Structure 1
Amino acid sequence: MSLGDGMRGQTGARRSKYRTGLLSTFGIAVICALAGCSDGASFRPLYGSAALGGAATQEKLATLDIAPIPGRVGQRIRNELIFQTTGGGKAQTPQYRLDIAIRESVVSTLVMTNGNAGGQIYSIEASYNLIRLSDKSVVASGKSYGRASFDRVTSIFANVEARQDAENRAASSVGEELRTRLLAILSSTA
């Protein structure tokens, strides 16, 4: 079946408009591909196995020592980062330490006239400092955010489980964002 077969019975103007749209979409894809690959010096794969300062990406991440974070959600973020940096394997000799402090909040949404909330949004703000252990200098610092919503119902158990699920989703989101930031930071530092 060709492009024209799918447009049988259509008027000439509609068929022409369909082909023009298809060709312009294809053209945009080709231009984007060529523009992205035109300057090889500025393109570095973030997740690939290209060398970053003499070490592969996974080896560079495995040199992180992630300090304990208080609380259940803090432990979830730490576990997520440990797994993402070491891949579940053994960590190498630490060259950097990552200190994280979190602040949690819950905002009620869909508040009814009797004051009960129909839903809530759980938020985490994680402030981090990446410290080079050789000279104790702060290499990078910043904040990462995670949010997850959950519904409130009449069952107390269901509300507790829904909040814990939202906490886990937000912690996972923060862990993934921090890993991406760490990859970018460590790829530019020696």
Structure 2
Amino acid sequence: MRTVLAFLSLVILSGCGLQPLYSGGPSGTVAQGLGAIDIAPIPGQAGWLMRNALRDRIGVATSGETRYRLDVRLDDRLEGLAVLGDDTIARERRILRARYQLVDISDGSIILDATAGSDAGIDVVSSEYATIAAEQTALENLSRQVADRIVTQVSLTLRATDRDGA
């Protein structure tokens, strides 16, 4: 009975349309597309962190030939939450939002125009150093999270573009 259930589940899953995103390994469509992306400079400390996080995720398979440019604009803010009776802030929220565009360099067309973002809560403590360190750590973590979301969406777009073009 278990064998029949296992077989039926394989048949059902094979018909669902799920496909590996990075099929073909380094020579696959998505890996080749990611390797052909140049990440434009992003101003500021948050931009430096974001560009490095994107390079860590995209730049591994750089093919040498640039076909796309990824333009990213960041909005990084700290908001005070939980104001105490003496008008001090007990908690902050760091918000990092990115608007990004994947541009085909050959004709300047925009292939993808989207946004990604994340936020983190920070406890404000009596030590100013500890609070600043927590804010910095939050920015580093948010940069990695937003970069993951950007690369995932770019990968899905490259795969869809390849299917449409093929």
What TM-score, normalized by structure 1, do the two folds share?
0.74
For the 8 Å contact 1:69–1:75, the answer to whether it is kept is yes
Q: Residue 37 of structure 2: which of 51, 60, 64 is its match?
A: 64
Distance (whole Å) between structure 2 residues aligned to residue 143 and residue 72 of structure 1: 19
Distance (whole Å) between structure 2 residues aligned to residue 121 and residue 36 of structure 1: 41
For the 8 Å contact 2:25–2:31, the answer to whether it is kept is no
Q: Give the equivalent residue in structure 2 for 1:117.
A: 89
Q: Residue 24 of structure 2: which of 49, 65, 70 is its match?
A: 49
**1:160 lines up with 2:137 in the alignment:** no
Q: Give the equivalent residue in structure 1 for 2:110.
A: 138
Structure 1 residue 49, shift from structure 2 partner? 3.0
Alignment of 1:3-82 (within 5 A): 34-39=11-16, 42-49=17-24, 55-82=28-55
Alignment length (residue pairs): 158
User: Cα 1:187–1:108, aligned 2, differ >3 Å: closer, same or farther?
Assistant: same
Cα RMSD after superposing both structures:
2.4
Deviant stretches of 4+, over 4 Å: 29-34
Distance (whole Å) between structure 2 residues aligned to residue 178 and residue 146 of structure 1: 12
Q: Which runs of 5+ in 2 are unaligned?
A: none
Structure with higher Rg: it is 1
- For 2:15, the aligned partner's letter is S
- For 1:61, the aligned partner's letter is L
User: Cα 1:174–1:167, aligned 2, differ >3 Å: closer, same or farther?
Assistant: same
Structure 1 residue 33, shift from structure 2 partner? 5.9
- For 2:40, the aligned partner's letter is A
* Sequence identity percentage: 25
For the 8 Å contact 2:34–2:155, the answer to whether it is kept is yes
Structure 1 residue 186, shift from structure 2 partner? 0.6
What TM-score, normalized by structure 2, do the two folds share?
0.84
Q: Which runs of 5+ in 1 are unaligned?
A: 1-26
SS at match of 1:43: coil
SS at match of 2:54: helix
Distance (whole Å) between structure 1 residues aligned to residue 66 and residue 37 of structure 2: 5
For the 8 Å contact 1:58–1:86, the answer to whether it is kept is no
Structure 1 residue 157, shift from structure 2 partner? 0.9
- For 2:101, the aligned partner's letter is N
